[in-house]
Amino acid sequence: MSRSTKQVFKTVGFAAVVVGILGASGYGIMRIMATDSLQRFREPGPPPDQGLVVRDFEMKTYNGDKLVAYAKVDQAIIRKDRSQMDLVGIQEGWFLTQDGEKIDFEAESAVYQVFSKNLLAEQGARLRGKDFDLKVATFTYQGNTEVVSVEGKVTGTLFGGEFETENIRIEVAEGRLTSGTFSWQGTPQVEGQPQRTSWNFRGATIETVGGVSTFTEGIATSSDTIIRGKKIVFDRNEDTITAEGDVKYFGVDANMTCAKAVVTRRDRRVLLTGRVNMLIKPETETAPKEVEIPPLKPFVPDEISVNRPAAPRDEAQRKQDDEIRGTDNLRQFPIAIIAERVEYFYRRGERRATITGSPQARQELGSDRWRLVWSNRAEWDGEKDRLKLFSRQGAKDVRMRNSLGDDMRATFIEVSTRKNEDLLSAKDAEGTMNLDDDEDLPRSPATPPPGSSPSAPPLQGPIGRD
C-alpha cells in the first residue's frame, strides 16, 4: 500500500471527518447542543428523545484557515441527551490526507455516538481514492482506538484490480489493513514501471501496510506462472512476489518445489532456494498446470545398480539402448532435478536457468530405463535448447550414468535439449560403455549401415568428443 493509500485507510469513510467536526472545534456542534441556539429548527412535537433536526446543510472542518474536510448532509438529528447524532444522506463528501490528496466518500446514513466517539454506518457506504473504490455494507469506527471494523462483504477496485474480501480491520495509526478470505485480479500498478502481465492473488487472509501485502495460504497466478505458498508477500515498492513455506512453482517449461521463491516481475526472474526439486516438462507441455511434483531422493553414484538385461539382445532392445544413449529425445520425457538454488528467467525470448548447489538429475524413459547426471553447476538455455554442465575448478565431477551400465566423467559436458537433435560435447572425458561383443556404438545418420565397410573402426576406450 502506498503512502497515499495508507492515509486513505487512516480516514476510512467519513468517520474521521465527523469526529473532527464534532470534537475538534470549540465552535462545533457540541457548543450548539449545549446552547440549543438552533431551537427554531426543531420539528413540531418531536419524540421525547429527539432534540434538534437540521436539513440540507454543509459540514466543514478546518485546520487553521485551510479547509480539510467537507460534506453535504440531507438531514441530521441530535438527541436531547446529546449522546448521539443521526446523519442521513451524506454525499459529495471529501477530505484531504496529509499529502494533500482528496478522498471522496458517501453513505446513506450513519450514527455518531458522542461519548464513545464511535461511528456506525449500517446502510452501506462508498469510499473512493487514488488507489481504490470500495463498497461496504456496514462499518464501525472506534474513535478512542482509531480502529475501523467492517463486517461482511467488501467489493470494488484496489490498486487498479478487482478486489473482493470480507471482515476488514483497519488499525488507523499504523495504517495496517487485515481481512479474511480475499481475491484480487488485475495488472499490478507500480510507479515508474510499465504495465505487465495480469495476476490473480487469492488467500485465506491478507495484511497490507506500507506498500507490502502479505497473504496466508496464498496463490498467485498469471498466464505463464502459478505460485503457491504458506505465505506470499507482494511488495509494490520493489515489484516483487516472495513465497515461503512449502512453495510450489508451476511454469511454462518447469515445475518446482522449494523453501523460498522470489519473483522479480520487472526482470521476469525467479530465484528458488532451499532444497529445490525441479521437474523440466516434456516439450509437448507448454502451459502452467498444477500437478504433483515427485520428490527426487539424493543418490550416490556408486550405489546405483544397472538394469541391463543379459545377452543376447535383439534389434528392438538395441534400439532402446540407442534411445538411452542418444540426446535427441531429452525433451520427450520429464527430467527430475534436485539442487540448492535455481535462478530462472521466464520471459519469452530470454528463457534460461542457472542451477547450483551440486545439482543431480534423473530421467525415466520407461521399462526400467533411466539416465542420471551429476555436476557442480548447470546452465540451461531455453531459447537455444542447450544444457551445460560444469565441474569445480581442477576437478572432474561431471558424471553421466545410465541403466545400461555406461559411466562417463568429464570437466564439462554440453547436450542439446532440442527435439530430434542428437548433440553431446564433452571436455576431458573418460569412462566406460557396456557393449555386447557384437554391438557397435549407437548408430546415427552418419554411421554406415550394418554390412558396409566403415571408414574408421568403432571408438574404443575412454568416451569423449572435442
- How many C-beta atoms lie closer than 10 Å to residue 460's C-beta? 8
Chain-centre distance for alpha carbon 297: 28
User: Does position 13 have pLDDT exceeding 80, yes or no?
Assistant: no
Among 29-43, 55-69, 145-159, 342-356, the range with the most confident prediction by mean pLDDT is: 342-356
Provide the 8-state DSSP code for 382: T
User: Does position 47 have pLDDT exceeding 90, yes or no?
Assistant: no
Place of cell 538454488: 341
CA dist., res. 274 & res. 409, Å (int): 27
**1-145 with 301-432: one CATH topology?**
yes
CA dist., res. 118 & res. 289, Å (int): 49
Each residue's pLDDT tens digit, 294-342: 776 676 666 666 665 555 666 777 777 777 877 777 777 888 889 999 9
| Per-residue pLDDT band at 119 (split at 50, 70, 90) | confident
Domain ranges for the chain, please list them: 1-145, 301-432
- Residue 329 CB contacts under 8 Å (≥ 6 apart), including other chains: 323, 365
R_g (Cα) of the chain, nearest Å: 34
Q: What is the pLDDT of residue 310?
A: 58
CA dist., res. 215 & res. 205, Å (int): 6
Average the pLDDT over 26-31 and give the result.
37
CA dist., res. 68 & res. 374, Å (int): 67
- How many C-beta atoms lie closer than 10 Å to residue 145's C-beta? 12
- Residue 250 CB contacts under 8 Å (≥ 6 apart), including other chains: 225, 226, 227, 288, 289, 290, 291
Mean pLDDT for the chain overall: 76
Q: What is the pLDDT of residue 50?
A: 61
Does the pTM surpass 0.75? The reply is: no
Query: Does an H or E element contain 19, and which?
Result: helix 15-23
Percent of the chain with pLDDT strictly greater than 70: 72
Q: What is the pLDDT of residue 262?
A: 95
Query: Does an H or E element contain 376, and which?
Result: none
CATH hierarchy code of domain 1-145 = 2.60.450
Q: What is the pLDDT of residue 194?
A: 63
CA dist., res. 7 & res. 95, Å (int): 11
The distance in angstroms from the start CA to the end CA of the chain is 56
Beta bridge partners of 369: 366
Long-range contacts of the stretch 259-262 (C-beta < 8 A, 24+):
261/227, 261/229
CA dist., res. 382 & res. 268, Å (int): 14
Q: Which CATH architecture has domain 301-432?
A: Sandwich (2.60)
Task: Read off the C-alpha cell for 236.
Answer: 509494490
129, 106 Cβ separation under 8 angstroms:
no
